[in-house]
């Protein structure tokens, strides 16, 4: 499973990439706003930190303007992935970009039918939002599983399922268990994945015993 990091914070992205666990970055207009940075400058800097796909979202509501925005964003770096909303206009733009070989991430997916349309539009990634579905008492993991299963019926579809709106380590474990290709994680969740009290306890015990040897390895 690939991990993308879901933030517009440069320091967080640098630190997460240094862990060796990060395969790309996703942003959205809210994350860009939180960063307080100029959008294009921010995406440019992120693309110098990772060579993996960096999702940058269009702001227009109509396909022709989305395509103009995509041109501006794609010119920033080779690894920019154009993020488009799951709307009629977003998927029109997705189809054009896909036919030009430009990577796309169709976002705000909340149903299997939407995911089918994204795949038909040639999306590189489709982003079902787990946390936001859980928030309204619908099962985020069930949606991920249903999309993965539906895509398996059509091996000619190349769209990867990108589990988004991740709120806990359990979301990652569940998404991996049902075969999501990618998950995009807020940095906090990435570090939570490492944590286990028995690891801490075991390591403390080993170090205490090691001290008794009086040895040093380096």
Q: Contacting ligand E4P (CB under 6 A), which of 26, 35, 50, 104? A: 26
Say whether 162 sits in a helix, a strand or coil.
strand
Helices (H) and strands (E) in the chain, counts: 11, 8
Contact between 98 and ligand E4P by CB under 6 A: the answer reads: no
Q: Of the listed 2, 40, 68, 83, which one is catalytic?
A: 83
Residue 60 CB contacts under 8 Å (≥ 6 apart), including other chains: 66, 68, 69
| Nearest of 206, 134, 188, 136 to residue 163 by alpha carbon | 134
Q: Write down the least CB distance from residue 200 to ligand E4P, Å.
A: 28
Q: What angle do CA 66, 69, 75 make, to 5 degrees?
A: 140
- HSE on the CB side for 93, CA within 13 Å? 28
Contact between 159 and ligand E4P by CB under 6 A: the answer reads: no
Among 69-77, 123-131, 142-150, 153-161, which window interacts with ligand E4P (CB under 6 A)? 123-131
Is residue 95 annotated as a catalytic residue, yes or no?
A: no
Contact between 125 and ligand E4P by CB under 6 A: the answer reads: no
Give me the residues that bind ligand E4P (CB under 6 A), please: 6, 26, 28, 107, 127, 129, 131-132, 164-165, 184
Active site residues: 83
């Amino acid at each position: 499973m690939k991990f993308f990091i879901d933030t517009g914070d440069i320091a967080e992205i640098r630190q997460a990439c240094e862990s060796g666990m990060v395969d790309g970055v996703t942003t959205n207009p809210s994350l860009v706003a939180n960063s307080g940075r100029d959008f294009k400058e921010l995406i440019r800097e992120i693309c110098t930190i990772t060579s993996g796909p960096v999702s940058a979202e269009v702001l227009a509501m109509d396909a022709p303007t989305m395509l103009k925005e995509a041109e501006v964003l794609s010119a920033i770096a080779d690894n920019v992935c154009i993020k488009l909303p799951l709307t009629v206009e977003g998927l029109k733009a997705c189809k054009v970009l896909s036919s030009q070989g430009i990577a796309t991430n169709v976002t705000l997916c909340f149903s299997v039918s939407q995911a089918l349309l994204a795949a038909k539009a040639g999306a590189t990634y489709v982003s079902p939002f787990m946390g936001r579905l859980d928030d309204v008492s619908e099962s985020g993991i069930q949606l991920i599983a249903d999309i993965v299963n539906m895509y398996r019926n059509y091996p000619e579809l190349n769209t990867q399922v990108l589990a988004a709106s991740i709120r806990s380590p359990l979301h990652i474990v569940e998404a991996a268990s049902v075969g999501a290709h990618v998950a995009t994680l807020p940095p906090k969740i990435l570090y939570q994945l490492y944590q286990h009290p028995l690891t801490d306890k075991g390591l403390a015990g080993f170090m205490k015993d090691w001290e008794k040897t009086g040895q040093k390895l380096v």
